[in-house]
């Protein structure tokens, strides 16, 4: 390695570097890094410090634990992918750890457009051991999903159900635009 000679306009600012002896360095890369730190202009020092800090931060960040059990060793046991020229497709696969995916799609004429209507199902085992089934469809009405793990709404309370039934059985009659007394402009204001 040849010694570093600073450009003429740097000679006033930087001193010539000291040569590192081979005994003070543990490996050749340490020697190069130390040489760069001692020799380089402040810009190189900043870049090197930034790289070292980023590397240290990345390595010291918490790492995701190793995937255990059947997830680590899972392999695709069957796969089917068929795409037709008319826009139809089928995509199915299964893995050795119980994940299953079935999907099919076909074009559907809706007014002047021809969107692809997709529907399918997925199945997997949750971390708590529960078997999860998902059925879905994506069409002109949007994405609709049903699943065994999705919570359902509570039932409508009986009082509200009776009120809804009464409202449906007794629709309001058209009053011809007349308001009953006590509302709006018919209200008398007493001072």
pLDDT tens digits, one per residue of 116-155: 889 999 999 888 888 899 999 998 888 899 988 888 888 8
Rounded CA gap, 182 and 32, in Å?
A: 92
> What pairs with residue 118 in β-bridges?
105, 138
Nearest to 118, CA basis, from 132, 108, 110: 108
Q: Mean pLDDT over residues 52-56, rounded? A: 61
Q: Mean pLDDT over residues 55-77, rounded? A: 63
What is this structure's pTM? 0.45
Rounded CA gap, 16 and 38, in Å?
A: 9
Residue 159: predicted pLDDT: 93
Residue 25: predicted pLDDT: 46
Query: 69 — alpha (psi -120 to 50), left (phi > 0) or beta?
Result: left
| Residue pair 105/119 in contact by the 8 Å Cβ criterion | yes
30: confidence class by pLDDT, cuts 50, 70, 90: very low
State yes or no: pLDDT of 182 exceeds 70: no
| Residue pair 134/122 in contact by the 8 Å Cβ criterion | yes
Measuring CA to CA, how many Å separate 21 from each of 2, 26, 35?
Answer: 14, 11, 11
Residue 74: predicted pLDDT: 83
Q: Mean pLDDT over residues 38-59, rounded? A: 58
Parallel, antiparallel, or unpaired: how do β-strands 142-147 and 131-139 relate? Answer: antiparallel
Residue 97 makes CB contacts below 8 A (sequence gap 6+) with 69, 70, 71, 73, 74, 125
Q: Mean pLDDT over residues 46-58, rounded? A: 62
Question: Of 13-22, 30-39, 45-54, 109-118, which has the strongest mean pLDDT?
Answer: 109-118
State yes or no: pLDDT of 97 exceeds 70: yes
């Amino acid at each position: 390695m040849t010694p570093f000679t600073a450009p003429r306009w740097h000679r006033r600012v930087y001193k010539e570097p000291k040569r590192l002896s081979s005994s003070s360095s543990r490996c050749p890369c340490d020697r190069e890094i130390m040489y760069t730190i001692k020799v380089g202009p402040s810009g190189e020092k900043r870049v090197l410090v930034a790289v070292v800090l980023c590397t240290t931060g990345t390595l010291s960040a918490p790492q995701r634990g190793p995937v255990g059990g059947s997830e680590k060793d899972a392999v695709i046991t069957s796969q089917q992918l068929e795409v037709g020229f008319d826009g139809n497709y089928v995509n199915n696969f299964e893995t050795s750890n119980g994940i299953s995916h079935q999907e099919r799609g076909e074009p559907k004429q809706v007014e002047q457009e021809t969107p692809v209507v997709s529907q399918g199902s997925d199945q997997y085992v949750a971390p708590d051991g529960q078997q999860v089934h998902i059925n879905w469809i994506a069409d002109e009405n949007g994405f609709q999903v049903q699943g065994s793990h999705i919570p359902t709404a509570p039932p409508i309370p009986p009082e509200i159900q009776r009120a809804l039934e009464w409202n449906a059985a007794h629709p309001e009659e058209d009053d011809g635009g007349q308001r009953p007394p006590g509302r709006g402009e018919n209200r008398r204001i007493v001072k």
